[in-house]
Amino acid sequence: MEEKTGCVIIGAGASGLLAAGTLAEYGVDTLILEKNHRAAKKVLITGKGRCNVTNCCDISEFMGNVAAGGRFLYSALSRFSPYDTMGFFEDKGVPLKVERGQRVFPQSDKAEDIADALLQYALGANNKIWYDCPVRSLLLEDGMVRGVVLGDGQKIFSEKVIVCTGGKSYPGTGSTGDGYFFAKQAGHTVNPPVPSLIPLVIQEPFCKDAQGLSLRNISLKAVDEKTGKVIFEQLGEMLFTHFGVSGPLVLSASCHMRPMESGRYKLFIDLKPGLDDKQLDARLQRDFEKFHNRDFINSLSDLLPRKLIGVLVHESGIPGAQKVNQITRQQRQAFCRLLKAFPMTVEGTRPIQEAIITSGGVELKEVQPKTMESKLVRGLYFAGEVLDADAYTGGFNLQIAFSTARAAADAIGQLF
């Protein structure tokens, strides 16, 4: 049985659902093809199940948080900005709140509210979603898209197709790289997908000793040892794990470590960014005076988290059993320098399956930035993570999905 529709959308994630709802407003009949048994699976796990839906900032600040593809994204973000996204969900009955770092969440702290709003919007007018419905390939003819072929061989005919399949991160949500296959079938260059916004594996063994420790209000600096350049530096929070480090600062730093090579990048934690060297030395002298009869390892409880004391003492080279009143000025100042720049060597990243997003994807030079239409195949569009555009953590990547989806859907809707 043949099926014809105004537009086919491959993937019922954030970009696919928003594109479908936009097309419904134009009166374009749309069929969404989703290989999972439900929609928006990745939306449901973002922000640890709370869904960091966007970032409350203007375009210039947003661009400062884009790791790849900023110039390409400018038009789409200008037409559907973070403020537009916030207004969209408020209008759909999902009240929002703004937290630290201007991150926007639903007031309920439930990602389900965002997913449900998107799904209801997508099913407007005569739109349909077919679940458990993988797509095998595109139907192409004379430089135009003619539809898709499903996994069971059925053909769906449409002269407009939007690929919203995501990247290769969190494959359990359906992001298994299908969109890259469709893009290559259409003749597109696909830049190799690599993990981005991903925890880092650290060479030094002390991370296991600090496992589970969350550090807040610290500064993290990343240095490319090959070039000597500081590639990232920011204030925020991070987490020690059994394999290394994670948390918002680490995820953002990982975006800059390209290409990833063992030992090439070093991280430096400033554990006391609010104090300069002189102030920190004075603080340490006060603590040493207070605990002057104690062993060094027992004198740091006012200064450091318990899990970090043993680690810092070991890395300092000062014997833990040395009495505080025997510590020399040179030892104390060296310890201050360690507190201001505690080093770690990056071995690599965790597997791409653990990445929040994928960097790489459809080459942006082959896509129209205003419409997201392929420059190679008429009627074929791309939106969301399948494109080679990504940003730091903080709601920016979901916003990219929404903005590119709206651009594609607007372009198609205006043709009907």
Q: What is d(CA 14, CA 318) in angstroms, rounded to the nearest whole number?
A: 53
User: What is the pLDDT at residue 207?
Assistant: 96
- List CB contacts of 12: < 8 A, sequence separation 6 or more: 20, 32, 33, 34, 36, 39, 40, 119, 122, 129, 131, 164
For the residues 113-119, what does the mean pLDDT come to? Answer: 98
**Mean confidence (pLDDT) of the chain:** 95
Cα dihedral 353, 358, 362, 363, rounded to 10, equals -140
User: What is the pLDDT at residue 174?
Assistant: 60
User: What is the pLDDT at residue 358?
Assistant: 84
User: What is the pLDDT at residue 395?
Assistant: 95
User: What is the pLDDT at residue 170?
Assistant: 62
pLDDT tens digits, one per residue of 228-258: 999 999 999 999 999 999 999 999 999 899 8
pLDDT tens digits, one per residue of 168-192: 766 666 667 899 999 999 999 999 9
User: What is the pLDDT at residue 172?
Assistant: 65
pLDDT tens digits, one per residue of 375-405: 999 999 999 999 999 998 899 999 999 999 9
For the residues 340-346, what does the mean pLDDT come to? Answer: 98
Q: What is d(CA 350, CA 342) in angstroms, rounded to the nearest whole number?
A: 22
User: What are the tokens at 274?
Assistant: 């609010």
Nearest-10 crossing angle of helices 14-25, 111-122: 40
pLDDT tens digits, one per residue of 80-114: 999 999 999 999 999 999 998 999 999 999 999 99
User: What is the pLDDT at residue 387?
Assistant: 97
pLDDT tens digits, one per residue of 40-78: 998 998 888 999 999 999 999 999 999 899 999 999 999
- On the CB side of 74, CA atoms within 13 Å amount to 6
User: What is the pLDDT at residue 177?
Assistant: 85
User: What is the pLDDT at residue 151?
Assistant: 95
For the residues 260-280, what does the mean pLDDT come to? Answer: 97
User: What is the pLDDT at residue 1?
Assistant: 58
**Rounded to two decimals, what is the model's pTM?**
0.87
User: What is the pLDDT at residue 234?
Assistant: 93
Higher pLDDT, 149 or 197: 149
